[in-house]
Amino acid sequence: MPTRAPRRRRKLAPFAFVAPFLLLFLLTFALPIGYAVHQSVMDVEHTGALGLGGSRTVFVGLRNYTDALSDHAFVRSIGRVLLFAAVQVPVMVALSAGLALLLDSASARGVRFFRAAYFLPYGVPGVIASILWGFLYVPGVSPLVEGMRHLGISVDLLGGDTVLWSIANIVTWEFAGYNVLVLVAQLRTIPAELYEAARIDGAGAWATVRHVKLPLLRPALILTTVFTIIGTLQLFAEPLVLKPVSSSIDSAYTPNLSAYNEAFTNDNYHLAAAEAVLLALAAFVLSFGFLRLINKRGGDA
């Protein structure tokens, strides 16, 4: 019988290996999603005269969702992050790809130094980056604003029209270097023979970039874009930190900020849950939709 016990153990082994992760995954992913969906279709109802007769939680269907979607501030916050994403995602991807190609180009020197310099901000937490840039935005403190004033340019980096792009700058500053690293890593996997072949075909530096490097960068560009989309929709720490110095940022500036505010300032957990579910759905649909659009093979991510 010496072979039977190990064979049975081998059948059970994969489950034992998967179990700890799966258990925690259920606890921190599946369960919160389920609970948020449950909370989002419930609400607290007050009974008795003037609502003083006590309260009970009742099923209200999609009312919290319709409440959220008919709240102008919340809808505006969604529009705001979508506008933000429409500008920031292409800027981020183009900047990262541009820097990666420059670093990879034949005439680049000191590659190691530049790569390290670009990657440094990734180690700076978003809140701390926002505190730093906040000082660089506030008039009277900022050497940038001051310097531009000396040149006769007056800009309000925290005004209603500009503060969203000041936030976009912080986000780009934080993550572009990381994306550059991913893209440079991908460029390094391109075999030398391909360059050789391109050269024999008479391709110049620019043609090589267009026809050899960019197509082979595709997978990394897709990865970068998806992560940027997900990150963009989560916008929270940056506007929260800049809120005290910019009167244009309100407590529903982004969907996340709105949900946080509903839950912890207004004690409206049910509406907050509905907003969180809407946010997760939007992120899921956008990144999955993008993958679908890009990936001709379909579901094979």
Partner 1 sequence: MSLQTPARTVPPSGGNTASDDRTPPRGGITGVTTRSRILVTGLLVAAAGYFLLPVYWLVVASTKSTGDLFGSFGLWFSHPQFLSNLHQVVTYDDAIYLRWAANSILYAGVGAGVATLLAAMCGYALAKFSFTGRDTLFNVVLGGVLIPATALALPMYLLFSKAGLANTYWAVLLPSFVSPFGVYLCRIYAAASIPDEVLEAARIDGAGEVRIFTVVALRIMTPALVTIFLFQFVGIWNNYFLPLVMLSDAKLYPITLGLTSWQSFADRQPQLYQLTVGGAFVSVVPLMIAMVALQRFWRSGLTDGSVKG
Chain residues 212-241 in contact with partner 1, contact rule CB under 8 A: 219-220, 222-223, 226, 230, 233-234, 236-237, 241
The residue within the footprint of partner 1, chosen from 202, 244, 265, 297 (CB under 8 A), is: 244
The residue within the footprint of partner 1, chosen from 8, 33, 45, 57 (CB under 8 A), is: 33
Is residue 251 part of the contact set for partner 1 (CB under 8 A)?
Answer: no
Torsion of CA 218, 180, 128, 86, to 10 degrees: -40
The residue within the footprint of partner 1, chosen from 4, 72, 112, 297 (CB under 8 A), is: 112
**According to CB under 8 A, which residues from 131 to 170 bind partner 1?**
131-133, 135-136, 140-143, 146
Query: How many Å apart are CA 177 and CA 189, to the nearest integer?
Result: 19
Region of 62-70, 76-84, 152-160, 171-179 interacting with partner 1 (CB under 8 A): 171-179
Contact assessment for residue 228 and residue 92, using Cβ atoms and an 8 Å cutoff? yes
Q: Which of 168, 171, 174 is nearest to 87 (CA)?
A: 168
Query: How many Å apart are CA 292 and CA 177, to the nearest integer?
Result: 27
Region of 47-55, 58-66, 148-156, 192-200 interacting with partner 1 (CB under 8 A): 192-200
* Token couple for 51: 């609502």
The residue within the footprint of partner 1, chosen from 167, 168, 259, 271 (CB under 8 A), is: 259
Query: How many Å apart are CA 167 and CA 105, to the nearest integer?
Result: 31
Is residue 36 part of the contact set for partner 1 (CB under 8 A)?
Answer: yes
- Could you tell me how far CA 147 lies from the centroid of its own chain? 32
Contact assessment for residue 127 and residue 199, using Cβ atoms and an 8 Å cutoff? no
- Residue 265 C-beta: closest distance to partner 1, Å: 13
- Residue 127 C-beta: closest distance to partner 1, Å: 5
Is residue 64 part of the contact set for partner 1 (CB under 8 A)?
Answer: no
Is residue 272 part of the contact set for partner 1 (CB under 8 A)?
Answer: yes
Is residue 297 part of the contact set for partner 1 (CB under 8 A)?
Answer: no
Is residue 202 part of the contact set for partner 1 (CB under 8 A)?
Answer: no
Radius of gyration of the chain (CA): 25
Query: How many separate helices (H) and strands (E) can be counted in the chain?
Result: 14, 2
Is residue 89 part of the contact set for partner 1 (CB under 8 A)?
Answer: no
Contact assessment for residue 244 and residue 298, using Cβ atoms and an 8 Å cutoff? no
Is residue 199 part of the contact set for partner 1 (CB under 8 A)?
Answer: yes
Q: Which of residues 45 and 196 has its CB atom nearest to partner 1 in the complex?
A: 196
Is residue 42 part of the contact set for partner 1 (CB under 8 A)?
Answer: no
Which residues, 6+ apart, have CB-to-CB distance to 263 below 8 Å?
269, 272
Q: Which of residues 168 and 184 has its CB atom nearest to partner 1 in the complex?
A: 184
Q: Three-state DSSP class for 55? A: strand
Q: How far apart are the first and last CA of the chain?
A: 44
Query: How many residues belong to the site for partner 1 (CB under 8 A)?
Result: 111
The residue within the footprint of partner 1, chosen from 1, 52, 154, 189 (CB under 8 A), is: 189
